[in-house]
Structures are given as C-alpha cells and as structure tokens.
Amino acid sequence: MTRLWPFTLRGTGAVLLAVAGFVIAQRAGIPELLYFATLLVALLAASAIALLVTRGTGSVSRVVTPETPEVGGSATVVVRAGLSSALPTGPGRWSDTLPAGLTGRAEGASAPLASTLARGAGTVEVRYDVVGASRGIHSIGPLEVTTTDPFGLVRRRLALGRTTAVTVAPAIVDLAPLPSASGEAGGTRQTAALQLGQGADNLVARPYAPGDSMRRIHWRATAHRDTLMVRQEEQESSPAATVVIDRGLSRWSPQAAHAPGSDPAFETAVTACVSAIAHLVHEGYTVDVVDSDGTLLTDPVEGGDDVEARAAAAGFASLRARAGDPSPRIVPATVSALLGPVVVITGSMSPEDRATLGAAGLHSALPVLIVVAEHAELDALQLAGWRAAHLLPAGDVARAWDDAMEQGYARVGR
C-alpha cells in the first residue's frame, strides 16, 4: 500500500487537512476554511505536476570493485544515474535490487536535484558494499529512485536503467606448502640448460626481449654491444600438475546440475578445486584442469602466474555437475600415466569407484585425493598410495589438505 500511495507523510497530512477543511466549512459555514482547503488542494496538484516533469534519462552505469568478488569477499558498487527535472526536487531515496547471490544494504537517501533546463541531465551517484553469498553470475538492478517535489508533499518512483551482471567467483583458500622432496613435484620454476657451445665465452646471445628473465642476461655480451643481451641456450620450463574435478552427477546430488550454489557438497568441491589450482600455480606448476571424462575445463594455467590462477577461478563461477551418462572413471586414463602432482576432487564413491582409483595414482609424484561427502572409506586408497582426505560438505578445505599432506609425512617417517 505504501508503494502505491503517492503522498509523503507531509503530503498525507495535507490531504487530511484539506478533506477536514471541506467538511467543516460546509457544516459550520466557515468560508475561510473552504479557501484554506482549496489552497491545499492546489498546492498538492502543483506538487504532482512538478514531479511529472522529472524523468530518468536511462543512463545508469555500475562499477564493481573488485570486478569479480569471491564468495565471502566484499566489493564496492558505484552507481551513476541520470535524472532531469524542469523544476528543483526535494531529497528522496534510492534503492538497488540485489539478487540472492549478493548481500548488502543497497539503499539510502538521495540529495535534492536542481533544475536541469539549462545544463542538461543531472547525475545521481551512490555507492554501497556487497558480499558474495554464492558463486555464479548474478544481476544487480534496476535502480529505483524516489524523488519528491520541492515542498516534500508528493513522491514519484522511477526505475532506471538495466541490470548489471556481476560474477561471483568461488573462494580461494590458502593451503599448506607441498612436500619438499617429491620428485617432479619439486614446486619451483626450473631452468633447463641446453648447451649450444663449450664454455661461457662461446654461449650464443641474443637481444633482450620483454618477458625474459633477468637471470639470463649475458653481461659480457651486453658490455660488448652496449645493449642488453640474454643467453640463448637457456630456456625456462615449468613442471606440470593436473587437477581433476569429478563432475559426474552420479557422485553428487541432483541439485548440483542446476544453478550454482544449490548443492553444498559440490560447492565445497569447487572451492577445493580452485584452491588447489591457485596453490600449485603459486608453487610454480603449470596446471591442467580436467573433468573425470578427460575434458579440459580451462586453458592451462602457467606456473607462477597468480593473476591467471584467479582468472581461472572466476571461470568456474558457473560450473555445474555434468548430467547424462555417469563416467565409469574418476581419473581419466591420460592423467593416470602422468608423473607430476595429481589432485583429484570427487564426491560420494561406490566400491567400484574405489577399486578403479586403486592404482591410478602410482605414477604420480604427489597423488592427492579429496572426497567431499558425508561419509568416505579411504583406508584402502591410502594403502594404495593416495594422500586421501575426507572433506565434509561446507567443511574446512585447508584442514582436509593438511590431512592429506600429513599422510605423506607419516609414510616418509616409516
């Protein structure tokens, strides 16, 4: 009822006084009250007419900082809207429509608007903070601005602009460092030297190019040619790692195939996935991310590029479980033969799934298995060489990772 009633509290009082003035003037025969009531009606009509010439220009822009917030992270939204009015308006209110995936207080008071006849449209700028509640692509808007006439008697609501899409990425959790002695899982960017000549004086040098490592500068050739030169015979290589997130619907609840955020277990698995990606990239690995059927889910993320790792996490904002025929494997055959670290995140497993996983991690220098489910039987898999950990839905990802790493330390201690 409040949204449909066009009068403010002050305007409502004016309406009641006008009605009372007409009634009393007629019954008591007081002409002055009739004049007073007529004046109030004229004032209300003038206020309504003044608001009719106020209109939105439709130019609404939103700037979200950071552009892609994480689940649980905050962001600032700056909204600029255009308004034009032939007459000045009084102070009003504004509100921005927030989706379920974002929480915050997107409303407040707006300043009075001066006449824009001479200088075109005016601008209303507001800002507010939001917190990512669930991953996904969410729409903010439209913006609703409530303006009042200069006397504050009548209000008018204007819905301005279109919605703005905001991507909420899964949260990245800091994980414990990898074991220091794990073969190819060394965890630092490595340099492979390809000797093209004999001795330091015979090394081939070429001009420096943007992106070359400063460690490769050939100082003698630089001094001789008076320009930066780098050693041609060295090339930097990054060890490879693989992260597998099992999207087979048979291991998750049916809600996981619907909108992101529907299944707590699958949401926890996605968080574990992006956390493992970011951690391995930070350690220096070039990471491939695949589904259990072998499908590459994103471009390989170069080792040491933390910005690219977060961009990859943003790409998982709309990831859902894969409906259709369940995959008979949790780890693709191509991954089973890799020597580098392999991190596998899956859901509820059947005895057949555990049997299939048994020998899949024998070749890897660091086979890690994270099972996100209410219950998990991992003893046989741990005996088979997996650093397996049980993670409850909405549980502590960092703790599960610690549990997996500690299993490796225990085996080394034996």
Average pLDDT across each block of 10 residues of the chain; the chain has 414 residues. List them in order: 76 92 88 90 88 69 94 95 72 89 92 64 84 95 85 85 93 89 45 38 68 71 80 61 92 87 94 97 93 90 91 94 73 73 92 81 84 92 91 96 77 35
Domain range for 248:
240-413
Quick one: which of 99, 154, 104, 155 has its CA closest to 126?
Answer: 104
Are 407 and 336 contained in the same domain?
A: yes
Q: How far apart are CA 333 and CA 140, in angstroms?
A: 43
Are 309 and 400 contained in the same domain?
A: yes
What distances in angstroms separate CA 147 from CA 43, 90, 119, 324, one per listed residue?
17, 7, 19, 52
Q: What Rg do the C-alpha atoms of the chain give, in angstroms? A: 33
Contacts of 223 (CB under 8 A, 6+ apart): none
Are 334 and 402 contained in the same domain?
A: yes
What pLDDT is stored for residue 190 in this prediction?
44
Are 385 and 323 contained in the same domain?
A: yes
56: β partners = 83
- The continuous run of DSSP H or E covering 288 comes out as strand 286-291
What pLDDT is stored for residue 331 in this prediction?
82
Look at residues 221, 237, 253 and tell me which one is the last residue of a structural domain.
Answer: 237
CATH number for the domain that contains residue 143: 2.60.40.10
Dihedrals phi, psi of 94, to nearest 5 degrees:
-135, 155
Are 329 and 253 contained in the same domain?
A: yes
Torsional sign, CA 245, 250, 252, 257: positive
Are 104 and 163 contained in the same domain?
A: yes
Dihedrals phi, psi of 59, to nearest 5 degrees:
-90, 90
On whether residue 186 sits in a domain, the answer given is: no
Residue 142: cis peptide before it, omega within 30 degrees of 0? yes
Are 385 and 315 contained in the same domain?
A: yes
Domain count, the chain: 4
Q: How far apart are CA 277 and CA 289, in angstroms?
A: 8
On whether residue 4 sits in a domain, the answer given is: no
Are 325 and 406 contained in the same domain?
A: yes
**pTM value?**
0.75
On whether residue 2 sits in a domain, the answer given is: no
80: β partners = 61, 125
Q: How far apart are CA 387 and CA 389, in angstroms?
A: 7
What pLDDT is stored for residue 182 in this prediction?
47
On whether residue 180 sits in a domain, the answer given is: no
Q: How far apart are CA 24 and CA 213, in angstroms?
A: 91
